[in-house]
Structure 1
Amino acid sequence: MTDPHDRSVTGFRTRFLLAVSAWAVLVAAVLVAVPLAFADRLPDPLATHWGPSGRPDGSMPFAAFVLVLVVLWVVVAGVGAGVGARARTLVRRTPRAWYCAGLAWAGGLMVVTQAFTIAANLDRGDWTRAAGMSWQVVVIVAAPIALGALGRLAGLRGPDVPPAPPRTRPRIDLDPGKRPVWVSTTTAPWAAWLAIVALAAAVALAGTALSGLFPGGWRAVVPLAVVGVVGTVLSSVSVRVVPEALTVSVGPLRWPSRRVRLDRVERAWVEERYPAQVGGWGYRGLPGRATIMIRGGECLVVRYTSGGRLAISVDDAEAGAALLNALIARQRPSVER
């Protein structure tokens, strides 16, 4: 028979994803419709940056202004929808609440920023005569935070399925005559595509800026390049276990890399962790209690003899933990078997 609880959770996830999709479409519609509605009353280019004095000191073509915000939101919403469609953490209250808070804050920030930018340029013949920014900055910062808080409250509603308990310490028997090696690599296609899109956009903007078609494009080149580099680093993680050490490397070039001597490792096990639980993707937390989060799900967790912990989202984590525990037991026979 089908568990009624499973049906209720599945129904909740379906409704939740529909609500998230509706929010994504609503924000995208506002980002497109509002500037188009006021297009005939806006200068082109229009002021998009204000200096410390509160006066406009940077501009952007109208089409580019609309396109940048829409593309940015599509990337954010697309990544969010992908996480929501695949991650089981949406049936857990705390990570779901922060997931909602993040989407609400991001959408609110883009809409509010666009609204005040349009208001400052409205009925101004030239971007240099755009209205100044003073108290508006406070609203631009505070309003998305308030919207994020509402999103978090909305995310607290619904089921709260407890996470699976940590698995017992896996073990394997080692052949004394052989040198065991375990290597596993996990990739995140979304990060790779994000890097490709960001780097391509950076190159295109640099080209248009050099040609004089879009002189203001230089302002976006560096942020897009940074996003591309970060996306490349987050696109994969590789873990290697040999009798001497545990090595963790990130990115397609396997750099940067971290090597931990086996005599510093106390034990290893497997846990399920998700980005919403640890604060997002990448290297999360502080030294001594950190997670390298590439994708949600099975993670290899290592406890150091100093008491610190490191979790890595990697495939076949159970085999890696089993080999680590077996190597530790062989080095230190007094370790509990």
Structure 2
Amino acid sequence: MTADSSVTGFRTRFQLAAAAWAVLVTAVLVAAPLAFAGRLPDPLATHWGPSGRPDGSMPFAAFVLLPVVWAVVAGTSLAGMARVRGEIRRWTRVWFCAGLAWTGGFLIGTQALTIAANLDRDDWTHAAPLSWQVAVGVAGAFVLGALGWLVGRLGPDDAPQAGTQPGPLIDLDPGKRPVWVSTATAPWAVGLALVAFAAALSFAVAALWGVAPTGWSTALPLALVAVVGLAVSSVSARVTPEGLTMAFGPLRWPTRTVRLERIERAWVEWRSPIQVGGWGFRGLPGMATIMIRGGECLVVRYTSGGRLAISVDDAEAGAALLNALAARQHPSVER
């Protein structure tokens, strides 16, 4: 009970500290432009070319909306962290803190440089040039990110290692061929792909008709977004006596098969996108997660020691069948 209370207390303090940082950055981003509003031109310079001279502007009313960008980033990150079950592991904390610190520092630095360059100028075209100052601002953001990384390393990391308990197991009928199939779909990814495809098609048609000759430069990246969106929109997992087969996207292509002789055992874990760094194929071969949606994941451990996690429904049944098949394949392996 003491250990659980200690972990819960640290989790609460960690989330409060992250929320405090988010509020502090928001306050700075809101207060700074308002404090100098009377000394800034409208519009003000917000972009500088390779020569260091200003070549783009933005209305002051739009510039003061910069905190909205931060609110979306910080709010989404904090909400995702709040959904993580149990202890927030150190690996997750360091990336979360580093990312939040870097983003906040980058936005504050960008705003500070913009205000300083426009201060007391009668027109945005007369804003001060920027060159080495940009490098200093970016470096400052990375320093804050490094500090966030160090802060994230503080605290406990003593949760039991995933998969130390035996995974589920079922009895197999020797006269039948068992098969388990399950899928997971991310509707947002399907929607993103459809919108991107529709936009790409519109720009392509406009380019063909000569309405927008440069439309191809926009259509091609949007088409790529559509393809990637469809690829990460769904995953299907299939367990047979031959092994575990994964298929991706609505066309169930490409596919990947892990032969049964390579699988030592399987179990179920709850994972969220923020724990693994986002959606899609996350991590490196041998320690990867196929993240389509947060929730239960089928986790397999290879005989070589590597692991693979797949976010699919009914993961416990898939793990149980894999364990039974692996036990029949490797009867001497202790489970």
Alpha-carbon offset, residue 37 of structure 1: 2.5
Tell me, yes or no, if the aligned pair for 2:84 and 2:272 is still in contact at 8 Å: yes
Residue 270 of structure 1 deviates from its aligned partner by: 2.5
Change (3 A) 1:250 1:105: farther
Q: Structure 1 pair 225/115, CA: closer, same or farther in 2 (3 Å)?
A: farther
**Counterpart Cα distance in 2 of 1:284 and 1:295:** 12
Aligned amino acid, residue 35 of structure 2: A
Q: Which amino acid aligns with 2:135?
A: V
Alpha-carbon contact 2:45-2:56 (below 8 Å) kept:
yes
Aligned ranges 1:200-279 → 2 under 5 Å:
237-243=235-241, 246-249=244-247, 253=250, 257-260=254-257, 262=259, 265-270=262-267, 272=269, 278-279=276-277
Shift in Å, 1:81: 1.0
| Aligned pair partner of 2:102 in 89, 102, 105 | 105
1:154 matched to which residue of 2? 151
Cα deviation 1:139-191 (Å, max 9, x = unaligned): 221111111222223223333332344132543233355553323344668x6
- Aligned 1:1-337 pairs, distance under 5 A: 3-67=1-65, 69-88=66-85, 90-166=87-163, 167-176=165-174, 178-186=176-184, 237-243=235-241, 246-249=244-247, 253=250, 257-260=254-257, 262=259, 265-270=262-267, 272=269, 278-294=276-292, 298-303=296-301, 309-327=307-325, 332=329, 336=333
Amino acid in structure 1 at the alignment position of 2:149: R
How far residue 39 of structure 1 moved from its aligned partner, in angstroms, is 2.7
Query: Cα gap change, 1:14/1:223 in structure 2, threshold over 3 Å: closer, same or farther?
Result: farther
Question: 1:93, CA displacement in angstroms?
Answer: 3.2
Q: CA deviation at 1:114?
A: 1.4
Contact 1:90/1:96, CA 8 A, preserved across alignment: no
Q: Distance in 2 between matches of 1:78 and 1:228?
A: 26
- What is the one-letter code of the residue matched to 2:32? V
Cα deviations across residues 122-143 of structure 1 (Å, max 9, x unaligned)?
A: 2233333222221112222111
Deviations 1:41-95 (A, max 9, x none): 333333222222222233333333333x333222221222123212247543343
Alignment identity in percent? 65
Instruction: Tell me if the contact between 2:267 and 2:316 (Cα under 8 Å) persists in the aligned partners.
Output: yes
Q: Secondary structure in 1 aligned to 2:64?
A: helix
Provide the rounded CA distance (Å) in 2 between the counterparts of 1:31 and 1:290.
37
Scaled by the length of structure 2, the TM-score of the pair is: 0.74
Mapped to 2, the partners of 1:178 and 1:254 lie a distance apart of 29
Q: CA RMSD in A?
A: 4.1
Separation in 2 of the partners of 1:225 and 1:42? 41
Q: Distance in 2 between matches of 1:140 and 1:224?
A: 31
How far is 1:111 from its partner?
A: 1.2
Query: Once the 2 structures are TM-superposed, how far is the Cα of residue 336 of structure 1 from its aligned partner?
Result: 4.6
Q: Tell me how many residue pairs correspond in the alignment.
A: 314
The answer to whether the Cα contact below 8 Å between 1:89 and 1:274 also exists between their aligned partners in 2 is: no
Tell me: CA distance 1:162–1:192, structure 2 relative to 1, closer, same or farther (3 Å). Answer: same
SS of the residue aligned with 1:175?
Answer: coil
Deviations for 1:231-276, whole angstroms, at most 9, x for unmatched residues? 776665443334556343456x466643316357433422646656
CA distance in 1, matches of 2:52, 2:291: 40
Separation of aligned partners in 2, 1:21 and 1:225: 37
CA 288–18 in structure 1, closer or farther in 2 if over 3 Å, else same: closer
Kindly indicate whether the alpha-carbon contact (under 8 Å) linking 1:97 and 1:155 is maintained by their aligned counterparts in 2: yes
* Residue ranges of structure 1 left out of the alignment (5+ in a row): 207-219
Deviation at 1:280, TM superposition (A): 4.7
Say whether the 8 Å CA contact 2:180–2:318 is kept in structure 1: yes
**Matched residue SS, 1:299:** strand
8 Å Cα contact 2:113-2:133 kept in structure 1: yes
Letter in 1 for 2:110: T
Contact 1:12 1:158 in 2 (8 A): yes
Gaps of 5+ in 2: 204-217
